[in-house]
Amino acid sequence: MEAFCQYRHTLGLPASVLNAALIEGVGFVAENGAARRKLKLKAQGHWFLDERALWNSFPVGLGRDEDGSGGAWVNKGHVVMGLLSEIPLDDPSNRATWKGDRRMGVYHNARSEKASQALSGSGKLREFLARVENQPDLLKEKSSKEFLVVQIGRKISSFILITEEDIDTSLNLIDAGLD
């Protein structure tokens, strides 16, 4: 696909390539726990993403399909998704299959601060649950209820492919479209 994209660019035609990641809940590997364990995907730097991540990646690649005329060939319309390493790429114990790929050079320069935030999910929720475990009375507070409503809304938004900003916490589940 990359070669075809490059060919179209030499003709002055638009083209984009999206290397889609593994999508949570879709396909053989996602639905087969044994296959998932055998492949050891996380150790190799491959991560399951949700459907929203797939949909959000389309405009990134489609909006940048111009050719890279300016010396070395660059394809700004080539998007790769689902690669992430918890271990620094220069660490000898890192087994990411893509760590030596020159196209991942920008990844080497980025520190894993954002990656660890993305991997931790909702750190605030984990902290909250740890506090509730020691202080169950926290659940009676109004602020706790509001916090949990927002956290549940975030998870639901990932199922129905809406942004977190579009969540209206005043609606019940049926009015929100979850019947």
Pinpoint the alpha helices (H) of 40-162. Answer: 51-62, 105-109, 113-119, 123-134, 142-160
Q: Please state the rounded mean pLDDT for residues 6-21.
A: 83
DSSP class per residue in 128-168: HHHHHHH-GGGGGSHHHHHHHHHHHHHHHHHHHT--GGG--
Helix (H, G, I), strand (E, B) or coil at 118: helix
The pLDDT of residue 62 is: 73
The pLDDT of residue 141 is: 92
- Exposure class string for 37-47: b at 16+ Cβ within 10 A, else e: eeeebbebbbb
Quick: pLDDT tens for 59-106: 777 766 555 555 556 667 777 778 777 777 777 887 887 877 777 766
> What percentage of the chain carries pLDDT values higher than 70?
75
The pLDDT of residue 41 is: 75
What predicted TM-score, i.e. pTM, was given to this entire model?
A: 0.47
- 39 has pLDDT over 80: no
Closest CA to 18 of 73, 65, 52, 72: 65
- 174 has pLDDT over 50: yes
> What percentage of the chain carries pLDDT values higher than 90?
2
Quick: pLDDT tens for 115-151: 444 444 467 888 888 888 889 899 999 999 888 888 8
**What does the domain layout of the chain look like in residue ranges?**
2-117, 123-166
Selected residue with higher pLDDT from 175 and 132? 132
The pLDDT of residue 112 is: 46
Q: Please state the rounded mean pLDDT for residues 29-43.
A: 78
Contacts of 146 (CB under 8 A, 6+ apart): 169
